[in-house]
A and B are shown apart, each in its own frame.
Chain A
């Protein structure tokens, strides 16, 4: 397995799209944090409290999640686009081992970059808003939550990429499932409609970073629900990867 991890690391680090998508993720996190907390500070009557400051600092996650998902998609769809997937499968014919290698390398990369980007976004946002009191636990939880959430979004992309095998198709699927349909779901009528909306992909996942509301799910249970969505996409992709001709 270590061989496959080294190989996948070489692949992911040696293309520009990795650098670009990660840079965009970080730029969106930090840039939007500065923009939003700046306007928060200037429009607020009194001091901005810690909870608002943290939420404002992490608002960029709404966009950064798509950059991470795109990188996740590209990790496998770029191999389908070029035909390089055949070279990869000739080298590692046990297909699930290949996919596992991609998942592990992507997860590690994403955790590091997301943690740095989230910490930077919070640092900038908190420096601008200067909340009067700042519980350390809340800040650490926010960094941890954003890091895990962004990584889960990337894995959602990787699962969809494995399933769809086609970059534009998988990116559109990711946008639909992560951004459009969760909004549409909130318009569903009745108690059941509300329940569906709360459990729908990012609506549940964003509870971990305090960017979503739910009456039935907490931050961690919400994230758990999101991980189930991610797992379903990944397992469906894995089953098809095993079965289909390359």
Chain B
């Protein structure tokens, strides 16, 4: 069954549409990136999935039902929205215990998740003193408490150091490999390129793309061949279709093989002949350039 299904989902605040007529499915067994510039409506959508905000129109179902109808929802869905949204006076252990008890999750599971996220040593410390990285781990521990099939993470790597980013990335891949549904939002394409299998891209609350990462790259822009040579001007004359830059030639209409054969016949030495994959970042910028809320 589809883990999350949004159908014509809309949310208006006053006269502004934060989310407009958004439909998508999130499937299990893979990491689905939820991508869009800041202010695109990602967090609003996540809050609607979790029953925190009421849609102005349309609906969103989790495992076929509205979230609010789930009994013991944390055993089905785990979510990390805002890592700093915890009472600073409570210890990590008590914070998780209160959440676990509300869904009939045994207290032993609290120790397990603290172990998984590497916070066992600081379980008794007040979370007010936690660094952002530790708070993020605590939020992930809370999401994992009910051993849920569906996981939502809202900008989980924001403010993390490289170690933390790598850890979260690995964890998300592992959770998806276990057959779970992982739905993770980010405004950073580069981050998604390394984590996601599938992308749902939105801008200004509307769906821009719902596609695999590979397709996403292919659809928006092409790759090119970069050629460097001490006799670059001659190469440019030879291939004719290139675009000459100060230190290299950029060719889109010919393959490396064709260019190589051509220059070899002419006896021109080459320093570099590379096919350059278009970056996901570039593809993303291209697609969302019309939907940036604020642009420089």
Contact = CB atoms under 8 A, between A and B. Distances in A.
A115 B90 CA distance: 27
Given A6-B101, A7-B98, A86-B52, A14 B91 contact: yes
Contact of B102 (A14, A82, A84, A92): A92
A3 B81 contact: no
A82 B98 CA distance: 15
B70 to A, nearest CB: 7
> Main secondary structure on chain A at its contact with chain B?
helix
B87 A78 contact: yes
A8 B98 CA distance: 7
B79 interface: yes
Interface string B95-116: 1011111111000000000000
B52 A15 contact: no
Interface string B155-198: 00000000000000000000000000000000000000000000
A161 to B, nearest CB: 14
A16 B53 contact: no
A84 B101 contact: no
A92 to B, nearest CB: 6
Contacts of A83: 82, 84-86
A20 to B, nearest CB: 10
Interface string A172-185: 00000000000000
Given A3-B104, A93-B70, A245-B47, A11 B98 contact: yes
Interface string A56-90: 00000000000000000000001100111011111
B90 A15 contact: yes
B7 to A, nearest CB: 19
Contact of A91 (B81, B84, B103): B103
B99 A87 contact: yes
B22 interface: no
B73 A245 contact: no
A98 to B, nearest CB: 8
B73 A90 contact: yes
A130 B257 CA distance: 109
A10 interface: yes
Contact of A94 (B68, B74, B95, B101): B68
Contacts of B103: 3, 91
Contact of B67 (A8, A10, A93): A93
Contacts of A214: none
Contacts of A90: 50-52, 73-74, 77, 79
Given A14-B94, A87-B142, A246-B53, A93 B68 contact: yes
A17 interface: yes
Interface in B51-82: 51-54, 67-68, 70, 73-74, 77, 79, 81-82
A15 B90 CA distance: 6
A101 B103 CA distance: 13
Interface in A170-207: none
Contacts of B95: 14
Contacts of B50: 86, 90, 93
Contacts of B100: 7
A55 interface: no
B129 to A, nearest CB: 14
Contacts of A78: 87
Interface of A: 3-4, 6-8, 10-11, 14-17, 78-79, 82-84, 86-94, 245-246
Which 3 pairs, one residue from A and one from B, show the smallest C-beta to C-beta distance? Answer: A83-B85, A7-B102, A14-B94
16 contacts: A3-B101, A7-B101, A8-B98, A10-B97, A14-B89, A14-B94, A79-B87, A83-B82, A84-B87, A86-B47, A86-B82, A87-B86, A87-B142, A90-B79, A91-B102, A93-B51
Given A16-B89, A87-B99, 14 more contacts: A4-B102, A7-B100, A7-B102, A14-B89, A14-B95, A82-B86, A86-B85, A88-B102, A89-B52, A90-B74, A91-B103, A93-B68, A245-B47, A246-B53
